Structures are given as C-alpha cells and as structure tokens.
C-alpha cells in the first residue's frame, strides 16, 4: 500500500455521520454542469478575458481526459502539474480527476531540485507546464526532466510547445465510458511544507477532501452567488480548499483567477468581476490593507477576506476590516488536513486574536507536552490531530510516518498552540524545523544540503529570523573550510540559486561563523541559533 489510510471503523463512522458522501470531483462537476449548464464557472482574465460555463468546463475535462487516456495515462498514474493561475490548470486537473490519474501539485516557483524530486519520487508519467512563466522557460526544465527520469513519457505544454506536446493538441472525442475513481480512492498528491529535506507527498481522497470543502463552504457562506478571486497560487492547498476554487465550484459559484496577487493586478479585477471573497497570506493582507485607501478602486463587492498560512499579527488583523470594508476570517490550516476558521458570528476580539476552531465536530484535537501527555486546559503545547479529512500517513514514507503520526493515528502538526475557553486555537509557535516565510514553507535541511555541496563550505545551519513584513526570513550560518578562500554572502546565494531551487528558498541572509552553538548532545541547537539571530 502506498499510504496508511483510515481504519475501517473510522471510515464507517465518517460515512455514517454524513461527512463522506460518496462523491468524486469528476462526478461533482458533472452534476453541477447538468444542474446549471450555462452558469459561469471560471474566469481567466489575462491576457484576454476567457470564461467557461459549467457545461464547457465539464466538456473540456471530458475531452482532455479522453486525450490523456489515448496517450496511455491511466488510473492511478501520477502527473506533475506545474501551471500558474490559468484556465488550463483547472481543465487539466479535472481531466485527471475524471480518469483517476493523480495530479502532483507543483508550485510555479519550483525549479529543478523540487521538480526532479516530484518526477522521480512520484514515478510520474507526465509533466504539465506553461511555456514561459515569470521569465522562466519551463520547456527547458521539462527537457532535462525527461532526460533524467526514464518513466516520464510525456511533457504537455500550455502555449508554445517547443519540442514537446502542445496541451491544445491533446483533447479528443471520448471513446466511451471508462472506469473513474471511487470516492474512497486518492484524488491527488498535495505537497507538505517539509521539515526533513524534500517535500513529502500528501495523499488526499475524494471523500475526505470533498468533506473539507463543503464544511468550509458552510462556515464561509459560499453559495452559487460567491465570486471568488484566486489570488495565491492555485496549486496551494489554502486557495484550493479553504474554501478555495474547489469549494466554490462545489457550491456552483464563480472562480476568477488572478495572475498576480499585488493590488495593482487584483483591485481592478475585484471591481470589474464584482469579487465577493478571496484569501491571502498575512504579508499580502498587509499590503492590501495599506493600498486600499489610495487605490481608487471600488472594492465594495468584497464581503469576506480569509487570511492564513502564517501567523497574522493582531495589530494587522485589526486594521483589515475598516480598510477593506469586508469581514475578516482567520484560517489556520495544513495540506495534511485539519483546517480551523474563525466564524462569521465570532466577535471582533476572537477574530483578531485567534486562528479559529476546527471545521468538523469529529476533528479530534490534543494539545500535549514533550512526552505526549495532555497539558492542562488553556496551556500551550504540541498540537496533535485526527479526523475525517486529516491523513493517516504520507505517501510512500513509512519511516517518516512513524515520527509524524502517533501510534493511534494522530498527526503531529509541529505547531505549538493553546485553546481558548470557546475552543478557538491560538498558534503560539512551532516545534518543527521549518521556516514560514510569509506563508511559504522552507525545510532548512533542503537548503542546507545544497549549501553543503559548495566546495568551500564545511558546515551550515539555516534558521529563521523575525521579519516585520514576512514574519520570518531565512538566515544561513556558514562555516567555511579551514583552507577555503573567504566567500561573500552573495556568492552563497548565487550558488543556491544556480542549483535550481524555488527562489523563496534562497537564504535571505548569509553569515559566516567559526562555530555553531551546541546543545548537550552536540547537535546544532536551532532554537539557540534563532535566539542568537534575534538578538543580533
């Protein structure tokens, strides 16, 4: 088996409670297309405004699915999808959902290091890319991946294909019915933020994810009148599911894709498309809050703004509602499952000082000390969780799963939280070795391994340092070899960048030191390093 799943008695309980409804993504789109074929499902505003009705999206997914099948992509196959916020992204994933092939959601910022890992670890048969995005030619990267990954049989390009296959050539007439996935089967592989080296893959089923969608829709008030702006990268779990574009399509609303999340791009779209809801990470929420007063755009259609992905400061949270003229909802979620929201009827204090409470009455929450003993109510500790949409294990990672999950199936989130008397969680910090750079997660070990490959470097430790705008930035402490020529910080950064890695993982700061602070057992103390960094 590729990943542990819910024990039978839990699955039966979640079905009996009505959480798992026995639907699939492909089936849901089909039903919505039958119920309201001519309603607009999707708007891609750039470079020319394109729209898809529910019927068009459904037909398009069918034709693409037929084309993928004809090229030998089958149920259970993995397909790395790296597309920006464009209509093709949704067409491709719905086509794959229909076949039961599993999208592996790469982010547009990912480069050689990450993509190579996804292609080889997931044993992907296909890789879907744009031609050129944000000045980067994805076709060249794709060519390298094909050379390096023998099982990678296809590269599909949205746009000019170069030497690969144009996505526009793929669709064809469906040749007849085929076996799609069952509701309890996997729908896709989402990415973990990662703590130990490269990202783990998160196996999500149709049943469990769809439950998190309709639970989110209820809480956020999503319905067919919702017009949702996808401002963050559509492949990220937050804009996909909380309630995200998948939640909005589930409810029969309209999804509008935003090519870039800056106010200059987003505000005119909000005005023109009469956007009612969107979601942002805290640094962007800050920028929008500051820009709203002078932007000169009518944002009055906006009813709800979700902010999550990283800690949102109370002061910033207090300023959002008056500046943007909409409700704020904080969301504390994770691609592994558990999602918490403040509620529409929570008072302002709760909305600005907490990160919300779980979606489901069947989300089990434990807050424990280092020895896994429950802490007294109201005190802070490690957050463990188990429930109807939280995975029981990562994909093909049995050793890691032993550490990341308790024996009875609770996921160790790595977050330090406390619970208020109303059941809301407050995120106090993090125990996992991860940097949260404005919502973008960095596994220090992944960056350390790259820097260690530099011939002049003896040792390295990457830690987070506080940052007013991003919350955290990354700092690499580097010990050079005794015989090495001195290096400049910029040379280390260039070395990392040239290795091919997402730009947000390149260390913001580099400092050369002679020794790291040590703990009693001789291991580098990240906690200590962080406090040294904070004082300097």
> If binding is defined by CB under 6 A, does position 311 make contact with ligand J2J?
yes
- Smallest gap from residue 310 Cβ to ligand J2J (A): 5
- Smallest gap from residue 282 Cβ to ligand J2J (A): 8
The smaller minimum CB distance to ligand J2J, of residues 109 and 331, is found at 331
- Smallest gap from residue 101 Cβ to ligand J2J (A): 23
Give exposure, 393-405, as e/b (b: 16+ Cβ within 10 Å): bbbbbeebbeebb
Helix intervals (H) in 122-243: 138-148, 206-220, 237-241
The residue within the footprint of ligand J2J, chosen from 118, 238, 245, 288 (CB under 6 A), is: 238
Q: How far apart (Å, rounded) are the C-alpha atoms in residues 66 and 95?
A: 8
> If binding is defined by CB under 6 A, does position 242 make contact with ligand J2J?
yes
> If binding is defined by CB under 6 A, does position 427 make contact with ligand J2J?
yes
Contact 165, 127 (CB under 8 A): no
Q: Which two tokens stand for residue 258?
A: 């935003």
Which phi and psi (to 5°) does residue 77 adopt? -65, 150
Contact 93, 241 (CB under 8 A): no
Tell me the sheet residues that pair with 386. 364
Parallel, antiparallel or unpaired: strands 327-334 and 304-308: parallel
The residue within the footprint of ligand J2J, chosen from 24, 205, 241, 276 (CB under 6 A), is: 241
The smaller minimum CB distance to ligand J2J, of residues 156 and 228, is found at 228
Give exposure, 417-442, as e/b (b: 16+ Cβ within 10 Å): bbbeeeebbbbeebbbbbbbbbbbbb
> If binding is defined by CB under 6 A, does position 199 make contact with ligand J2J?
no
Residues 404 to 423 in contact with ligand J2J, rule: CB under 6 A? 413, 415
In eight-state DSSP terms, residue 524 is: B
The smaller minimum CB distance to ligand J2J, of residues 66 and 339, is found at 339
The smaller minimum CB distance to ligand J2J, of residues 62 and 415, is found at 415
Tell me how crowded residue 291 is: count the other CB atoms within 10 A of its CB: 17
Residues 315 to 344 in contact with ligand J2J, rule: CB under 6 A? 330-335, 339
The smaller minimum CB distance to ligand J2J, of residues 196 and 242, is found at 242
- The phi-psi region of residue 162 (left if phi > 0; otherwise alpha if psi is between -120 and 50; otherwise beta) is left
> If binding is defined by CB under 6 A, does position 247 make contact with ligand J2J?
no
- Smallest gap from residue 261 Cβ to ligand J2J (A): 15
Contact 70, 172 (CB under 8 A): yes
The residue within the footprint of ligand J2J, chosen from 203, 309, 381, 388 (CB under 6 A), is: 309
The smaller minimum CB distance to ligand J2J, of residues 154 and 236, is found at 236
Tell me how crowded residue 78 is: count the other CB atoms within 10 A of its CB: 26
- Smallest gap from residue 307 Cβ to ligand J2J (A): 7
Q: How far apart (Å, rounded) are the C-alpha atoms in residues 404 and 411?
A: 6
Residues that bind ligand J2J (CB under 6 A): 193, 237-238, 241-242, 308-311, 330-335, 339, 355, 413, 415, 427, 430, 436, 439, 441
């Amino acid at each position: 088996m590729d990943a542990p799943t819910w024990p039978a008695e839990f699955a039966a309980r979640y079905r009996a409670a009505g959480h798992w409804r026995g639907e699939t993504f492909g089936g849901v789109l089909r039903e919505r297309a039958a119920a309201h074929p001519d309603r607009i499902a999707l708007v891609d505003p750039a470079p020319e405004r394109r729209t898809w009705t529910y019927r068009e999206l459904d037909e398009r997914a069918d034709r693409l699915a037929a084309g993928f099948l004809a090229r030998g992509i089958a149920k259970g196959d993995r397909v790395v999808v790296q597309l920006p916020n464009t209509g093709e992204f949704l067409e491709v994933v719905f086509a794959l959902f229909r076949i039961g092939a599993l999208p592996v959601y790469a982010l547009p910022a990912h480069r050689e290091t990450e993509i190579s890992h996804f292609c080889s670890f997931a044993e992907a048969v296909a890789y879907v890319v744009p031609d050129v995005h944000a000045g980067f030619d994805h076709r060249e990267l794709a060519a390298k991946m094909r050379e390096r990954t023998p099982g990678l049989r296809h590269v599909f390009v949205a746009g000019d294909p170069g030497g690969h296959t144009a996505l526009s050539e793929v669709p064809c007439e469906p040749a007849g019915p085929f076996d799609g996935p069952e509701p309890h089967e996997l729908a896709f592989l989402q990415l973990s933020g990662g703590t130990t080296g490269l990202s783990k893959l998160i196996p999500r089923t149709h049943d469990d994810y769809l439950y998190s969608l309709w639970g989110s829709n209820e809480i956020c008030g999503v319905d067919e009148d919702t017009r949702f702006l996808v401002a963050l990268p559509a492949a990220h779990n937050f804009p996909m599911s909380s309630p995200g574009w998948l939640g909005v399509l589930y409810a029969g609303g309209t999804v509008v894709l935003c090519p870039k999340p800056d106010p200059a791009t987003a505000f005119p779209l909000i005005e023109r498309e009469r956007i009612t809801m969107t979601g942002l990470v805290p640094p962007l929420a800050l920028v929008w809050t500051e820009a709203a007063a002078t932007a000169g755009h009518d944002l009055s259609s906006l009813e709800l703004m979700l902010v999550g992905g990283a800690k949102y400061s109370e002061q910033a949270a207090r300023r959002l509602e008056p500046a943007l003229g909409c409700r704020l909802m904080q969301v504390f979620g994770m691609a592994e499952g558990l999602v918490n929201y403040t509620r529409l009827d929570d008072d302002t204090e709760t909305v600005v000082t907490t990160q919300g409470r779980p979606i489901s009455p069947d989300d089990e929450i434990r807050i424990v000390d280092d020895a896994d003993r429950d802490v007294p109510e109201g005190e802070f500790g490690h957050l463990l969780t188990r429930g109807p949409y939280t995975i029981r294990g990562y994909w093909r990672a049995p050793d890691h799963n032993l550490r990341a999950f308790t024996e009875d199936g609770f996921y160790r989130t790595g977050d330090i939280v406390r619970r208020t008397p109303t059941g809301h969680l407050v995120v106090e910090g993090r125990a996992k070795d991860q940097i949260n750079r404005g919502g973008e997660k960095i596994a220090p070990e992944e960056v350390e391994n790259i820097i260690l490959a530099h011939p002049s470097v003896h040792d390295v430790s990457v830690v987070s340092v506080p940052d007013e705008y991003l919350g955290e930035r990354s700092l690499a402490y580097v010990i050079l070899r005794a015989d090495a020529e001195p290096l400049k910080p910029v040379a280390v950064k260039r070395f990392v960048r040239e290795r091919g890695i997402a730009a947000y993982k390149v260390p913001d700061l580099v400092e050369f030191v002679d020794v790291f602070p040590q703990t009693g057992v001789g291991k580098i103390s990240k906690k200590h390093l962080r406090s040294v960094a904070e004082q300097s």
